[in-house]
Structure 1
């Protein structure tokens, strides 16, 4: 089956989510092990004597926090805490909600009371340490953060923040010693990046060059790592080496507005400035990286909490604003997200990206026409921005405006000079748009172009193979393509359906039945698969089972296309002259 909703990556040109340093396996394991948020039932069960009003406010706060309505949750939790000021659950949740809302002053005002009630609350201690770091009270920050055990993820975070406090206090050797200890716990790869920008800020140019180059060689196409390496090289006057890093991005087909913004300075022999201008920005970068990794791994509350602290330490960072905005948008907090997107200044390389995100939020809030209009205006103002074309193409495709979607994707493809392996996806989504618009020749050419760039992508193999099968063309080659796609994605029900349909078209009925039954087990209520299974059952003489499958297909079809195709079969089957049982 050719999937109808093959999604185009949200950022065809500028994926802000890829700005983070690569999360380590150890990081994810630690993230999952953090005992951060109890379930509501567990928290309620350990409460002492209850005041109904306090419990009601607390439960209302939990419900609000479930949807990341942090400000509303904080109001409810505070009502509960004011009733029972010595209840560690109420007070702790109030602190957490303030933190997630970005109300750091309010969170700080209650954090010490949280620690009075629960000295082991690591997030409260981390927050107080971040505040001391922000205020350049480095000795105080060191004392606060040193009391967080390094065994947990928050402990590791506090350890890296301690290293940044040491840099701020001019104790670079101590910062390196702290990182050396943390690196022994499996974080050395992650810490290379921070060693590099600490050395850069501390004036150790040779160490900064060596460490940033090593970090980039380990993860050559992570934009934040590349940006730091380019800046460090160019600041040292090594413009040819910096240009080589930029060229490697271009050769791979990787684009990012922040990295691309360095091209003019490097080409002109200008020093672009430090990656982290101060200790606060460096610590914020660490919190941004870890917070984003945690949120992506499912630890949403802790991820948002770290990102809020990152924004507090470096409030002018467009990268942090965009990352936090995207995360909040995912949870439907559009108003909060829009404020963050709108905070990105016009002079930032990420300004256009922020405008694209604002347009996407209109679509998510249910006003696709405004979103499309805004993206069309952006393309007029910024005709070279590939991401705007990609997002516009997606929205038009979701709206089944196939010809317009194809034209939008053409805006990207016309600007590929030359196409790189990573660009396969542009031809693929344009091929989908052409195929749905009934321009098969153009669609086929695009699918073949996508395979030239990425011969082993299962989605492209499946879409082209299925289309050929459905059209009765190139059946042997189509079958080989789909079989390879199944090998690459053995649990993909859509691709397995394509294989079953190819067997059916080749009159290999028993193989078709076994394969389509397998697809139906993976996707048991899929109209297309049930319709196909009905067809092969009928061809095998299993009329009653065929009728059953067609009825399922009709009942689960949301769009109506399959139902329209299947209803006549309930009258005549696949053979108008065949007798139909009751």
Structure 2
């Protein structure tokens, strides 16, 4: 997912150079502005919105037709978080596009709210309907603007956009807060109860209801509410923190201020835009929320995710670093920070952050450390954090057992791997990844072949487009000596995973067994071009050098450092 609206492949520095390439005294204002425009567009496409805003501003200054660039400058200012600047240059002329004018009014309303001008904000939101695609955001924001303007009756009026369930649902949450602000507690509780009926109510709504109960001195009811939700969402950090606070009888958070409530209101459509893969709109809304509530942690986390997806790692890291050590989201933010370095191939920095983050035993941090260690093939070191997580878990977790089993398998410790994988399968008997991984371990060792083949068939039935799983099935038939069937399946696996060295190696072996020797040699040579691990490289080279084809493999237990390449997870 990238923040892209136009594909531009020319490097930024070349496009910027276009703006200054004219000789001194040359009268080429349009060409100069066009170069700056292209540089700004390229920066915007690459997620570098602050740099884009600078290019567009400069282009506007030198252009003979600055109105052509105004919308781009406005958009870039919003995406970079320069909301004050964006409000100043928001398009209002008839020549501007309707979409830009609608976003402009929303931006101006938010800036007015942030500046304490509630009446101005309310007028901007209500004097003319703000239509698609910003209708939802405007509707949810309007009651808070009314509250800022001192219009209590308008503030408690639930927004209504026919057919918009987001407004219906979260408009009720806003109304509940407004009722509480107006000390109409019975009506507030009616709304909160309506929002949290049923076991599957969203955790954020349960936390909002529970905090209301705590503020009313009804802590036992709040704890019961949190417990009910935790039964459905046992790993939700916000619910866990809320329950711990209520049980310790610590003070709950106060109801949101007008600016805090408005920020939360606009984050709701931001999340919806993100789910719909409308990344630029999502980022714009998050930036608006932060103008209203600059310390809102979940908004900074969203900025980090969006900027990271756009390729602007510097901006993403700066966003994650806004989360402080005393905040509950700190471990998650540090985990995301570590993965940003891993994605940039800065492995040592990634592991340094992950190790520091996991030093206090936080479960999120420990899991991140274990995953990073496994990603970097440090399997022996990954065992310790997985042990901690498994021992601390109140109930067996198949995912943790599966991860530890995979690490043991990569270390060549099959007995321990088999025990963990079998335990994971017992907890989740229909999980395709476990079925495939455990069965492949048996198949590659020539053990329990009929049982293993049936397990892999279940995995393939669940994921027929998984090349790794189809390969496992083909390799099972190979081990049973059914080479014609093995060839059919392994050819299908290579089509699905053309760049996987293990799949190509298996197909070469199967070709050899059915007499297709030239094709087998081609596959083994191809294996050497696909960055195989040391065991596989030696295997392919030996077959090519000897001309004797596949030979019985030494048992994996005698060569622990070169255990068979596992299916699915390692690929």
User: Are the aligned partners of 2:47 and 2:310 in contact in 1 as well (CA < 8 Å)?
Assistant: yes
SS at match of 2:161: helix
Query: Shift in Å at residue 292 of structure 1?
Result: 3.4
What's the counterpart of residue 497 of structure 2? 523
Q: How many residues align?
A: 532
User: Are the aligned partners of 1:70 and 1:100 in contact in 2 as well (CA < 8 Å)?
Assistant: yes
1:413 to 2:390 alignment = yes
* Gapped regions of structure 1 (runs ≥ 5): 1-34, 42-48, 578-582
What's the counterpart of residue 473 of structure 1? 447
Matches of residues 495-574 of structure 1 in structure 2 within 5 Å?
495-557=469-531, 559=533, 561-571=535-545, 572-574=547-549
* Cα distance change on mapping 1:529 and 1:485 into 2, 3 Å: same
Of 291, 296, 313, which residue of structure 1 is paired with 2:270? Answer: 291
Distance 1:248 1:573 in 2: 65
Query: Shift in Å at residue 76 of structure 1?
Result: 0.8
User: Are the aligned partners of 2:199 and 2:232 in contact in 1 as well (CA < 8 Å)?
Assistant: no
SS at match of 1:418: coil
User: Are the aligned partners of 1:538 and 1:573 in contact in 2 as well (CA < 8 Å)?
Assistant: no
What's the counterpart of residue 558 of structure 2? none
What's the counterpart of residue 103 of structure 1? 82
SS at match of 2:212: helix
Distance 2:379 2:137 in 1: 48
* Cα distance change on mapping 1:429 and 1:200 into 2, 3 Å: farther
Deviation string 1:195-248 (CA, Å, 9 cap, x unpaired) is 444444444433443433443446837442332132123223332332123324
Of 290, 300, 315, which residue of structure 1 is paired with 2:279? Answer: 300
Of 483, 488, 492, which residue of structure 1 is paired with 2:457? Answer: 483
1:84 to 2:59 alignment = no
Of 403, 407, 414, which residue of structure 2 is paired with 1:433? Answer: 407
Distance 1:59 1:574 in 2: 57
Distance 1:153 1:357 in 2: 30
* Cα distance change on mapping 1:187 and 1:161 into 2, 3 Å: closer
Out of 67-76 and 51-60, give the one that drifted further: 67-76
Matches of residues 26-37 of structure 1 in structure 2 within 5 Å?
37=5
* Cα distance change on mapping 1:569 and 1:265 into 2, 3 Å: same
SS at match of 2:353: helix
What's the counterpart of residue 23 of structure 1? none
What's the counterpart of residue 291 of structure 2? 312
What's the counterpart of residue 338 of structure 1? 317
Distance 1:148 1:368 in 2: 53
Query: Shift in Å at residue 366 of structure 1?
Result: 3.6
What's the counterpart of residue 388 of structure 1? 365
* Cα distance change on mapping 1:316 and 1:184 into 2, 3 Å: closer
User: Are the aligned partners of 1:36 and 1:302 in contact in 2 as well (CA < 8 Å)?
Assistant: no
* Cα distance change on mapping 1:313 and 1:557 into 2, 3 Å: same
Distance 1:283 1:295 in 2: 19
Distance 2:91 2:352 in 1: 49
User: Are the aligned partners of 1:197 and 1:212 in contact in 2 as well (CA < 8 Å)?
Assistant: no
Distance 1:342 1:115 in 2: 42
Query: Shift in Å at residue 392 of structure 1?
Result: 0.8
Matches of residues 89-238 of structure 1 in structure 2 within 5 Å?
89-112=68-91, 117-118=96-97, 120-121=99-100, 122-146=102-126, 149=129, 151-169=131-149, 171=151, 174=154, 179-184=159-164, 188-189=168-169, 191-217=171-197, 220=200, 222-238=202-218
User: Are the aligned partners of 1:525 and 1:552 in contact in 2 as well (CA < 8 Å)?
Assistant: no
1:255 to 2:204 alignment = no
Distance 1:391 1:428 in 2: 15
Query: Shift in Å at residue 390 of structure 1?
Result: 0.7
* Cα distance change on mapping 1:62 and 1:475 into 2, 3 Å: same
Deviation string 1:75-113 (CA, Å, 9 cap, x unpaired) is 111111112375444111111111111111211221155
Distance 1:452 1:202 in 2: 54
Distance 1:273 1:185 in 2: 28
* Cα distance change on mapping 1:189 and 1:555 into 2, 3 Å: same
User: Are the aligned partners of 1:167 and 1:202 in contact in 2 as well (CA < 8 Å)?
Assistant: no
Query: Shift in Å at residue 501 of structure 1?
Result: 1.3
SS at match of 2:472: helix
Distance 1:354 1:70 in 2: 22
* Gapped regions of structure 2 (runs ≥ 5): 10-27, 553-571
Tell which has more relative contact order, 1 or 2 (C-alpha 8 A, sep 6+). 1
Larger radius of gyration: 2
Distance 2:113 2:71 in 1: 22
Out of 251-260 and 104-113, give the one that drifted further: 251-260
Distance 1:56 1:64 in 2: 12
Deviation string 1:521-573 (CA, Å, 9 cap, x unpaired) is 22223222121122222222222222222222222235455333222222424
Distance 2:501 2:172 in 1: 51
What's the counterpart of residue 401 of structure 1? 378
Out of 489-498 and 363-372, give the one that drifted further: 363-372
C-alpha RMSD over aligned residues: 3.1
Out of 139-148 and 177-186, give the one that drifted further: 177-186
User: Are the aligned partners of 1:288 and 1:307 in contact in 2 as well (CA < 8 Å)?
Assistant: yes
What's the counterpart of residue 18 of structure 1? none
Deviation string 1:439-493 (CA, Å, 9 cap, x unpaired) is 1122122212222332222111111111111122222221222111112222222
